[in-house]
Amino acid sequence: MLKLSEKFRGRDFLTLQDFSRADLHVFIAAARELKARQKAGEPHRLLAGKTLGMIFAKSSTRTRVAFEVGIYQLGGAGLFLSERDIQLGRGESIADTARVLSRMLDGIMIRTFSHSEVEALARHAAIPVINGLTDYLHPTQVLADLMTVEEHKGRIAGLKLAYIGDGNNVAHSLLLGCSITGMDIALACPEGYEPQAAIVQTALANAAAGGSRVSIGHDPLAAAREADVLYTDVWAGMGQEEEAAKRQEAFKGYCLDTALLKAARPDAIVLHCLPAHKGEEITAEVFEGSQSVVFDEAENRLHAHKAVMALLM
């Protein structure tokens, strides 16, 4: 049976900032090993008999399937818990919910709006808590992104990723993930939609310590120039539906199209965390083109999430 490092057993996975470059490479190596085992049809029931509680305040396709299928492939069971199934922070305090679930489960994955809610859950739980997404961060997505970059480029450090669009939770985690692992990152966001200053300052400090560069600007073409990886996300995320019309106007010119692809390196790859609105943040031509690896990236959510569960639980 595959033997994984015990270093992370019992820890939470709330933000990539809690881990070093070497740590993240352990997660990526484990994800790639688990992927190879699954492709070869080799059993890897590392979590036999264990149960993951999956709390979803925000709906999901990739997160739900990746964690539920992932825990099953690891030999355990996943328990889906919607807002209607539990009273988290409403009829029952987060602290009490955390303590109850800690007596019955082996791990908790939560996908919700407030990052402070996830932090509170982790503070009171005696079992690992995994951040499946908040409005502030999306670390499990970016772990899969880094895995995809390494698969296609053979390395992470020394490359350049250009992110075009909203300075949202994905952008925040990309800033952290790239700066920790030694990849340059350039963001191009419309004015008023830049990433939060605290995240930028943390990423700049990471980059200074690790020898990479972070830049935040408003020019998509400048950001894309000589990039090895081009990345975008929807203009209006979940919970921002009322802002959609306003954002449509603000984000004109921030579409990942062939002009941006030509500005990047000839062998650049295209990433998108999905779902995609073709014709808005990315053209159908680029999305469906030969340089797009978005479905490799989507598949790698399964393997990256399995690595997180296997190492923590």
Concerning whether 233 is annotated as a catalytic residue, the answer is yes
Concerning whether 90 is annotated as a catalytic residue, the answer is no
Element (H, E) at 95: helix 94-104
Beta bridge partners of 81: 55
Give the Cβ contact number of residue 243 at 10 Å: 13
Of these residues, 37, 115, 301, 305, which one is catalytic?
Answer: 301
Concerning whether 189 is annotated as a catalytic residue, the answer is no
Of these residues, 62, 111, 272, 305, which one is catalytic?
Answer: 111
Alpha-carbon span 47 to 273, nearest angstrom: 27
Is the separation of the CB atoms in 222 and 214 below 8 Å? no
Map tokens 């990236």 to a residue. 297
SS3 of residue 215 by DSSP: strand
Q: Residue 160 is encoded by which pair of tokens?
A: 């350049």
Is the separation of the CB atoms in 270 and 230 below 8 Å? yes
Alpha-carbon span 15 to 42, nearest angstrom: 31
Concerning whether 141 is annotated as a catalytic residue, the answer is yes
The closest alpha carbon to 277, from 261, 254, 296, belongs to: 254
Alpha-carbon span 242 to 226, nearest angstrom: 36
Of these residues, 37, 141, 184, 303, which one is catalytic?
Answer: 141
Q: Residue 51 is encoded by which pair of tokens?
A: 């149960």
Of these residues, 115, 138, 172, 303, which one is catalytic?
Answer: 138
Concerning whether 138 is annotated as a catalytic residue, the answer is yes
AA identity, residue 188: A
Of these residues, 184, 273, 303, 305, which one is catalytic?
Answer: 273
Instruction: List residues with catalytic annotation.
Output: 111, 138, 141, 233, 273, 301
